[in-house]
A and B are shown apart, each in its own frame.
Chain A
Amino acid sequence: KNQVEQSPQSLIILEGKNCTLQCNYTVSPFSNLRWYKQDTGRGPVSLTIMTFSENTKSNGRYTATLDADTKQSSLHITASQLSDSASYICVAVTSGTYKYIFGTGTRLKVLA
């Protein structure tokens, strides 16, 4: 069964600190791996997209990594800001039908 698991479920950090969110996926056939940020009451917004041949992708203070062999990805947030408080959702996309398989998300809270 296609599945995406994320950890931790929730995380609280102080402003200015770094953090890393984890994602394991079991999706076949695999096309690409995406990280989304979802603010409360909003739809998800894309942060990074990585195909199986890409190991890392950056978007400002967000850096995603992908190990297609172990089927693991991480999202690293550098120098966190209060506005980073949101849910971060990992999505594995199947090839062919390009169906999105969502993880349950990591809820990040950044405190002043």
Chain B
Amino acid sequence: GAGVSQSPRYKVAKRGQDVALRCDPISGHVSLFWYQQALGQGPEFLTYFQNEAQLDKSGLPSDRFFAERPEGSVSTLKIQRTQQEDSAVYLCASSLWGRRAPPDNEQFFGPGTRLTVL
């Protein structure tokens, strides 16, 4: 019955390290979204999954960013060879419906992972 959870809550990486961020969506939710939120900015879309299928990855800033949701539930966002500009809060959201959702379909957000790249 819990909401969306993310781990770790905080991650400090040295430039060049690889990191993996985890998202546990609300059970039974079809859709899963990843967003990047820079300091003082609104979230920006990264990628979208409907069950295990990654239907939209147009927001991923480079090929260093990779996301997966192999069994249609938990998702992992991986960032390879981290750069300082990757420092941000990474938010995960899930929603009950898939692409053909009604207009009032709600996205529920996790608390985010704050990534700091030194």
Contacts and interface: CB of A to CB of B under 8 A. Distances in A.
Indicate, yes or no, whether A interacts with B. yes
Interface of A: 4, 31-32, 41-46, 49, 51, 89, 91, 93, 95, 97-100, 102-105
A44 B109 contact: yes
Given A32-B104, A43-B93, A45-B109, A98 B42 contact: no
B103 A32 contact: yes
Interface of B: 4, 33, 35, 40-45, 56, 91, 93, 99, 101, 103-107, 109-112
B21 to A, nearest CB: 14
Contacts of B101: 98
B111 to A, nearest CB: 5
B41 A100 contact: no
A104 B41 CA distance: 5
B37 to A, nearest CB: 8
20 contacts: A41-B112, A42-B111, A43-B93, A43-B109, A43-B110, A43-B112, A44-B91, A49-B103, A49-B104, A91-B42, A97-B56, A97-B99, A98-B101, A98-B103, A99-B56, A102-B35, A102-B43, A103-B42, A104-B41, A105-B42
